[in-house]
Structure 1
Amino acid sequence: MDFKQSSTTFLKVIIFLIGIAVLAVCIYLLPEAARRDAIERPGDYSLYPLLVCAYGICITFSAALYQIFKLLTYIEKNNVFSELSLQSLNVIKKCAFTVIFFILAAIVYLRVHAQFTGDDAAGPISLGLMGVLATSVIIAFVAVLQKPIKNILDSQPKNN
């Protein structure tokens, strides 16, 4: 096993473990939070918009993880500079924009909810903004990766 294959295999294992963690959040933690909230405050549905955003982030993040897994497979097969890898990077970028949308929707909801309840939402809002910043870095990184692949694909002659 050469260095490149062992590195991509290690990254695939890490991606798989992150996927298991996201699945655990979706199956166990988020429903448990909804159950506890329903017991503590019956008739109060203020947590549900945040749950929708959390599930949206988890589903979108899982789709991005799958695309990263596919991209690592292309790297293993020496197929990095292909249309398939460019498509995977494009889907990863779209997923990142969708995650930002869900985070911003949650921030807006928290701000409006805090206005009516008098709660202090500064902590969760600042964490959300840090998430937006981190996701923006990922978008920039993917854009940097896409550029040389596009250049190489554009310079190759088309076979009709």
Structure 2
Amino acid sequence: MYVSAIPFFFALYQAFKLLSYIDKKKAFSELSVKALKNIKYCAVIISISYVPGLPFFYIVAKLEDAPGIMLIGLGIIFASTIIAVFAAVLQRLLQEAIDIKSENDLTI
């Protein structure tokens, strides 16, 4: 869990930077795309860091006769995967919007 705390707090910092870009009316900029890319990578790192721990969750669940413990590890992996996919979709949409905006600026 300590290993996953580092990318979590880095992603939290990137989300704060993204919100500050939106507040400064720089939402459609390359900085926002970079922040979303960093959030995506952090979510992938978190999900990958929990995969090797699943056998330990299984052993503890079997010893303690508590199958809900296994769902904790799977839930964290699932949630971080969903966040990575969502950030990737937002990054792609934002990049396309920036490209369209730059094309429109050049045609006028």
* TM-score grouping bracket, smaller chain normalisation: 0.7 to 0.9
Greater Rg over alpha carbons, structure: 1
The residue aligned with 1:48 is none
Match of 2:53 among 106, 118, 127: 106
Q: Which amino acid aligns with 1:66?
A: Y
Tell me which residue corresponds to 2:67: 122
TM-score by length of 2: 0.81
Q: Match of 2:89?
A: 144
SS state at 2:9 partner:
helix
State how far apart, in whole Å, the 2-side matches of 1:132 and 1:90 are: 19
Q: 2:27 aligns with which of 77, 80, 92?
A: 80
TM-score by length of 1: 0.56
Figure out how many residues of one structure are paired with residues of the other and give that number: 102
Q: Which runs of 5+ in 2 are unaligned?
A: none
Question: Which residue is 1:60 aligned to?
Answer: 7
Greater length-normalized contact order (CA 8 Å, ≥ 6 residues apart): 2
* CA distance in structure 2 between the partners assigned to 1:109 and 1:121 by the alignment: 13
Does structure 2 retain, via aligned residues, the 8 Å contact 1:110–1:121?
A: no
Shift, 1:121, TM fit = 6.8
Superposed CA RMSD: 2.3
1:89-135 Cα offsets, whole Å, 9 max, x none, are: 00000000011011112113444xx29xx625733221111111111
What corresponds to 1:132 in structure 2?
A: 77
Q: Which amino acid aligns with 1:135?
A: S
Identity %: 37
Structure 1, unaligned runs of 5 or more: 1-53
1:94 aligns with 2:41: yes
